[in-house]
Chains A and B, each alone.
Chain A
Amino acid sequence: MKRDPGLYDYLPYNGKRPKIRWPNDARVAFWVAPNIEFYELAPPVNPARAAWARPLPDVAGYSYRDYGNRVGFWRMYEAMERHKIRGSVSLNVAMCQHHPEIIEACSRAGWEFYSHGTYNTRYLMNMSEAQERAVIRDSIDTIRDCTGQKLDGWLAPALTYTDRTLELVAEMGLSYVCDLFHDDQPAPLKVKHGRLIALPYSLEMNDVIAYNVNLVAPRQFAEIIKRQFDYLYREGAESGTVMCIPLHPYLVGWPHRIKAFEEALAYIAGHDKVWFATGREIAKYFIDHSYEAFKAASMPVGDPK
């Protein structure tokens, strides 16, 4: 086991970093990442993690999440369309087979698809390298075949990993990952192949964390989103920042939550110096304009032994 993932060097947020200039002098690159997920009723067992809290069939846990595809997605989709916010879909790619209607709706609206593994009930821990490569290959092929898009981004299924996951993702041609939470600006990662960056995704703005971990009420969630935006918008006047709202239709899509979310979205949409982008667009822009400067400014991390 490693003490430090060894994925990034130290680049303090102390005002001396190379400046990021987003298109049209935007202060904040803002993106919304709906997690479109499929959880299996009876998945095979991974010894590192139980898929369900209760003995199978965990009807409560399964149906709670299935609500997202049957009901919640459509409500969330309408709200985003009303504010002309394109989503960047964090996709369990088996959704392409299970519920293509959702994929079609997202495609029609010009949304991006990136990979969130095959199913949210298939974890990466304990996989061999060949198995892990097969999962990534499946994502690349399925997204290309079903949406015509090249896969550029990654968020590991259920945030599960091996020590080699992000290295393989880079080697297989992806350019950004949403798995690391150490910054509010993109960060170059230390991989052997290609250029891979950590794109700020955020757990604090994630509805699962807000509602089911931090236990906030919907109106408080809207308040949190607005205050997060205010601070990053202010800082973004000096150097561009990134704000992401990761969503789960099975949570945000409930009637009692959708209005608060939409109000927060409207608040952000009411600001002029915001770049409403997708993950791929932000990643590409950063890699083209700031990657080298950020890498050069980073400092090696000392070894505490």
Chain B
Amino acid sequence: MSLPDGYLQYPHRHYGMDHDRYEWSILPRRKPVQWPGGARIALSVVTALEWFPLDMSNKPFAPPGAMVTSYPDLRHYTLRDYGNRVGIYRLMREFDARNIKATAAVNAAVATRYPSLMQEVRQRGWEVMAHGTDMAHLHHGGLDQAREGELIDQALAALTVSGPVRGWLSPAKGESFATPDLVRARGLEYICDWDNDDMPYAMRTDSGTLYAMPHSPDIDDFSILIRNHHSEREFTEQLIDQFDVLHDEAAKQGGRILSIALRPWIVGQPYRMAALTAALDHMLRKGGVWPATCSQILEAWKGQQ
């Protein structure tokens, strides 16, 4: 048995990336940026508003939060829906009390199902980012490109009813090779699927530049509390450590972004809320924090490139 000759050929073996989507770049060697008011940290809170249909197929993979049991999985359906009905309003109340404007990454189905929730989001001056149609429609390499374009069109049609949309987060961060091209072609300016940086960077697409915005993995509520089974106290500690390191770095290397991704069906449970607010209070007490939406952060950053 042997592998074909091509297995030992390396056509992309050269300096930089193995694709043309973006340039290789070292964070500590970049030009420092200044945030408004001299803040060290731009605080970007992104809350996902997701709808997991009862009949979802979990193909080609199960997104975090998918149905688990045989149909009808009323248990997981309603546990997820809790986020859109109860959890998000707890977050709104706690963020309002701290003057934090969040960015909501919204499945189109949520906007259609719960128009009053969209009004609550928009009235607060939160930004709305497109988050696909629903959690049963994933973007992936096996998806026909025309079909993927339709999904993006559907999402934008439903979400722009309540106001503008400038950014994109794919459900479960799944992409095809064409996703950045397709969302840029529809006028969107940034995308949050790529986990490879603490700061924005430029991506090439067929229709010009699309910016990658940080949307951090591993310190979100799902990763820590559900996947890793860490305690609520450890969630608080990790958020604080993330903040403190970035805060120190910012003193030497210019403004940083702390991105906190939340799912209201997880962190919005009563016993978890204080774990989040304790971390936020630490940050706001320490100071040098600019709570901002993704678009505000991107604008401030772009102005200095």
Please tell me if B92 contacts chain A, counting CB pairs below 8 Å. Answer: yes
3 A-B pairs with the lowest CB-CB distances in the bound complex, closest first: A231-B270, A228-B271, A304-B109
Contact B273 A14, beta carbon cutoff 8 Å:
no
Contact A10 B270, beta carbon cutoff 8 Å:
no
Please tell me if A70 contacts chain B, counting CB pairs below 8 Å. Answer: no
In the complex, chain B residues whose CB is within 8 Å of the CB of A220 = 231
Contact A14 B89, beta carbon cutoff 8 Å:
yes
Please tell me if A216 contacts chain B, counting CB pairs below 8 Å. Answer: yes
Contact B93 A15, beta carbon cutoff 8 Å:
yes
Q: Which of B224-260 contact A (CB under 8 A)?
A: 226, 229, 231-232
Please tell me if A119 contacts chain B, counting CB pairs below 8 Å. Answer: no
Contact B158 A183, beta carbon cutoff 8 Å:
no
9 further interface pairs, Cβ-Cβ under 8 Å (given A1-B72, A204-B269, A223-B232): A1-B54, A5-B54, A5-B77, A12-B117, A13-B90, A48-B70, A216-B231, A301-B114, A304-B133
Contact B113 A10, beta carbon cutoff 8 Å:
yes
Q: Which residue of B lies closest to A123 (CB)?
A: B70
Please tell me if B78 contacts chain A, counting CB pairs below 8 Å. Answer: yes
In the complex, chain B residues whose CB is within 8 Å of the CB of A48 = 70
Question: Which label, helix, strand, loop or mixed, suits the secondary structure of the A interface?
Answer: loop
Q: List 15 A-B contacts (CB under 8 A).
A: A10-B114, A11-B85, A12-B116, A12-B117, A13-B90, A14-B89, A15-B93, A180-B74, A182-B86, A183-B85, A183-B86, A203-B75, A220-B231, A228-B271, A303-B112
Shortest CB–CB separation between residue B230 and chain A, in angstroms? 10
Q: Which of A226-240 contact B (CB under 8 A)?
A: 227-228, 230-232, 235
Contact B113 A224, beta carbon cutoff 8 Å:
no
Contact B55 A179, beta carbon cutoff 8 Å:
no
Cα distance A204–B266 in the bound complex, in angstroms: 10
Shortest CB–CB separation between residue B119 and chain A, in angstroms? 10
Cα distance A12–B93 in the bound complex, in angstroms: 13
Contact B270 A232, beta carbon cutoff 8 Å:
yes
Assuming the contacts A182-B86, A304-B108, asked whether A10 and B269 have C-beta atoms less than 8 A apart, the reply is no
Assuming the contacts A5-B54, A214-B229, asked whether A125 and B70 have C-beta atoms less than 8 A apart, the reply is yes
Q: How many residues of B contact A (CB 8 A)?
A: 43
Please tell me if A163 contacts chain B, counting CB pairs below 8 Å. Answer: yes
Assuming the contacts A14-B89, A48-B70, A228-B270, asked whether A304 and B51 have C-beta atoms less than 8 A apart, the reply is yes
Please tell me if B288 contacts chain A, counting CB pairs below 8 Å. Answer: no
Shortest CB–CB separation between residue A302 and chain B, in angstroms? 4
Please tell me if A161 contacts chain B, counting CB pairs below 8 Å. Answer: yes
Please tell me if A59 contacts chain B, counting CB pairs below 8 Å. Answer: no
Residue from the set B78, B116, B232 with the largest chain A CB neighbour count within 10 Å: B78
In the complex, chain B residues whose CB is within 8 Å of the CB of A125 = 70-71
A-B residue pair count with CB separations less than 8 angstroms: 120
In the complex, chain B residues whose CB is within 8 Å of the CB of A15 = 89, 93
Cα distance A225–B85 in the bound complex, in angstroms: 22
Cα distance A220–B85 in the bound complex, in angstroms: 27
Contact A14 B82, beta carbon cutoff 8 Å:
no
Contact B55 A224, beta carbon cutoff 8 Å:
no
Cα distance A227–B90 in the bound complex, in angstroms: 15
Q: Which residue of B lies closest to A205 (CB)?
A: B271
Q: Which of B55-88 contact A (CB under 8 A)?
A: 55, 69-72, 74-75, 77-79, 81-82, 85-86
Please tell me if B115 contacts chain A, counting CB pairs below 8 Å. Answer: yes
Give me the interface of B with A, judged by CB distance under 8 Å: 51, 53-55, 69-72, 74-75, 77-79, 81-82, 85-86, 89-90, 92-93, 108-109, 112-117, 120, 133-134, 158, 226, 229, 231-232, 269-274
Q: Which residue of B lies closest to A126 (CB)?
A: B70
Contact B232 A4, beta carbon cutoff 8 Å:
no
Shortest CB–CB separation between residue A33 and chain B, in angstroms? 15
Cα distance A299–B112 in the bound complex, in angstroms: 13
In the complex, chain A residues whose CB is within 8 Å of the CB of B72 = 1-2, 5, 161-163
Assuming the contacts A13-B86, A183-B86, asked whether A299 and B116 have C-beta atoms less than 8 A apart, the reply is yes
Contact A182 B273, beta carbon cutoff 8 Å:
no
A304 interface neighbour in B55, B69, B134, B274, Cβ under 8 Å: B134
Please tell me if A290 contacts chain B, counting CB pairs below 8 Å. Answer: no
In the complex, chain A residues whose CB is within 8 Å of the CB of B109 = 304
Cα distance A227–B81 in the bound complex, in angstroms: 22
In the complex, chain B residues whose CB is within 8 Å of the CB of A160 = 69-70
Please tell me if A193 contacts chain B, counting CB pairs below 8 Å. Answer: no
A302 interface neighbour in B113, B229, B273, Cβ under 8 Å: B113
Please tell me if A49 contacts chain B, counting CB pairs below 8 Å. Answer: yes
Contact B116 A184, beta carbon cutoff 8 Å:
no
Shortest CB–CB separation between residue A43 and chain B, in angstroms? 16
Cα distance A227–B270 in the bound complex, in angstroms: 7
Please tell me if A159 contacts chain B, counting CB pairs below 8 Å. Answer: yes
Cα distance A14–B88 in the bound complex, in angstroms: 9
Contact A13 B274, beta carbon cutoff 8 Å:
no
Q: Which residue of B lies closest to A163 (CB)?
A: B72
Contact A10 B85, beta carbon cutoff 8 Å:
yes
